[in-house]
Amino acid sequence: MPKGRPAVVPEDGLTTRQRRNRPLVIVHTGPGKGKSTAAFGLALRAWNQGWPIGVFQFVKSAKWRIGEERALRVLGESGEGGPVAWHKMGEGWSWIQRPGTEEDHAEDAREGWAQIKRDLAAETYRLYVLDEFTYPIKWGWVDVDDVAETLANRPGNQHVVITGRDADPRLVEIADLVTEMGKVKHPMDAGQKGQKGIEW
């Protein structure tokens, strides 16, 4: 895409403006760091455009306080830009699960997806950030065919960005933009845990 121009202009009957303004499904996947960070960067751009934003976190615990949440909540309440709604699915899930809680987390994920479907039908937001949403799909908690069909047929001008490793091929197929974050090197490889200002 030299100078921001597409390599091919399809014969789809759309004007340049219509094609430019089509809503996108975006997937950030892969083993590297930065998938959620990139999605929240998109949310900042959307906020600047005055778009209503819905953030749905599927894995991070409701007890965790991440930097992007605080920043976007403050921006959303500032009276400038677009409003921001932040949704944490139930009690969240951490990488260390307590035995016997899997069904609770699965139910939280299913209800989270049901809420997103209601919001898409109502055209509640212009940008949806479905953070770590690939995991409940991978674990079979949310039906990927339902997700693919719902996103492909969503009404209006609603953009959706999904983050997480191991994106299902059916999700990749219906997406307009897929970025795979690769890992070349990570501090955890040398035994270093996450730190404030970098991971949260």
Map 16-29 to HEC letters: HHHHHCCCCEEEEE
28's CB contacts (< 8 A; 6+ apart) are: 34, 35, 36, 38, 39, 161, 162, 163, 164, 179, 181
Boundaries of domain holding 31? 20-93+101-181
Name the token pair of 4.
Answer: 């921001």
Strand, coil or helix: 73: helix
Q: Is there a domain that residue 148 lies in?
A: yes
Place 50 in a pLDDT band, splitting at 50, 70 and 90. very high
Write the CATH number for 62. Answer: 3.40.50.300
| Strand, coil or helix: 116 | helix
**Residue 105 is encoded by which pair of tokens?**
């987390």
Kindly state whether residue 196 falls inside one of the protein's structural domains. Answer: no
State residue 17's pLDDT score.
80
- Pick the more confident residue, 198 or 109: 109
Q: CA 175, CA 81: separation in Å to the nearest integer?
A: 27
Query: Does residue 1 sit within a domain?
Result: no
Task: Report the C-alpha gap between 170 and 159 in whole angstroms.
Answer: 18
For the chain, give the mean pLDDT: 87
- 3-class DSSP state for residue 129? strand
| 79: its two tokens | 């009276």
Q: Per the domain annotation, does 78 fall within a domain?
A: yes
Residue 63 is predicted with a pLDDT of 56
> How many domains are contained in the chain?
1
In a domain, residue 153? The reply is: yes
64 in a domain, yes or no? yes
Q: pLDDT tens for residues 80-112?
A: 999 999 998 755 544 445 555 567 788 889 999
d(CA 25, CA 129): 10
- Has residue 187 been placed in a domain? no
Q: In the prediction, which pLDDT does 93 show?
A: 46
> Is 173 within a domain?
yes
